[in-house]
Amino acid sequence: MALEYPEKQLVEIARSSDQYFRLHDRIEKPDGTTRELFDLNPPLKVIQQRINAHFLKRCRYPEYLTGSLPRSSYIKNAVRHAGQGTVLTIDATNFFPSISDELVFRIWNQLFKFGEAPSQVLTQLCTRSGFLAQGAPVSSYLANLAFWDIEPHIFRELESRGFQYTRYVDDIIVSRRRKLSSQEKSWAIRTAQKVFLSKGLQIKTRKTKVMDRNKQQIANNLIVNSGRPSGGKDKKGRLRAELNQLRQDIQNQTSSIETLQKSYTSLRGKLLHYRSTNPEPAKKLIAELDSLKF
């Protein structure tokens, strides 16, 4: 195994991998549930980074995957659905904790074609308590690959009927240039939901949205009614979206410390400028920005 550790040591670390995970942050979501973010202690953190370098970063990811990957962003995802007649959004419930070690094993064994023994070791090295842990170096890459056997078929089926399909981590967006009929909307939603449902994930039904052009269309917190996504006229909304993107980049560890620092510095400058005319909302955003850890 090309991870620069003796095989015996890797097996021992894999068997006790849970002890190397530590809770980094616990974030309360708008719906009242909690998102747990994890960091890793050495040597597992180094091992996962090498798994990324040797295997996961070398994959050629399809263009419809736009989240938590190098040179991808929520803005690029939203661009694919700008100026469409109808936009549909589908979200999975408890996404990372729903990606099981069984799905991860199948990635290594059936997609990468590793034998059962190395696939089992890699699975143990990449999961905590039998599931992906959000924030771990490998998690965003494996989450993108979790539906490798069904997602390409769903994409082609939708594309053949004139639909755009993208997935930004746990957010699926489907759109079409013209306004859809009720029957077409129902078919598109059922078809796209198969990606998550085929692996036992649950759909967050209250976040399944159907947005026609005559109403505001939102994709990744950006307005996409026109041919170009925007945060709307509210500058605070645009700054909030940029802050959310930085938080996402930190959580998924897809950018270098230098890149994150540059993004932080740039955003802080914008917020300081915004503070001159909007002191109270700027103060809150700056406090959130300064609380980020990377």
- Alpha carbons 270 and 188: distance in angstroms, whole number: 40
User: Which residues of the chain fall short of a pLDDT of 50?
Assistant: none
Question: Smallest Cα–Cα separation from 118: which of 253, 18, 5?
Answer: 5
Residue 111 gets the label, from left (phi > 0), alpha (psi -120 to 50) or beta, of alpha
- Alpha carbons 266 and 121: distance in angstroms, whole number: 41
Q: What is the pLDDT of residues 53-84, one digit of tens each?
A: 999 999 999 999 998 888 888 888 999 999 99
- Alpha carbons 23 and 130: distance in angstroms, whole number: 16
Strand partners for 175: 87, 164
Token pair for 185: 């909307």
- Alpha carbons 183 and 96: distance in angstroms, whole number: 32
Residue 43, pLDDT score: 96
Q: Is 2 exposed, middle or buried (0-12, 13-18, 19+ CB in 10 A)?
A: exposed
Give 224's Cβ-side CA count (13 Å radius): 29
Q: What is the pLDDT of residues 12-47, one digit of tens each?
A: 999 999 999 999 888 877 677 888 999 999 999 999
Between the CA of residue 268 and those of 129, 149, 271, 288, what are the distances in Å? Answer: 38, 42, 5, 11
Pairing assessment for the beta strands 163-168 and 209-212 based on DSSP bridges: unpaired
DSSP-assigned states of every residue in 172-193: EEEEESSPPPHHHHHHHHHHHH
Element (H, E) at 261: helix 257-275
Residue 66, pLDDT score: 93
Residue 33, pLDDT score: 80
Residue 75, pLDDT score: 82
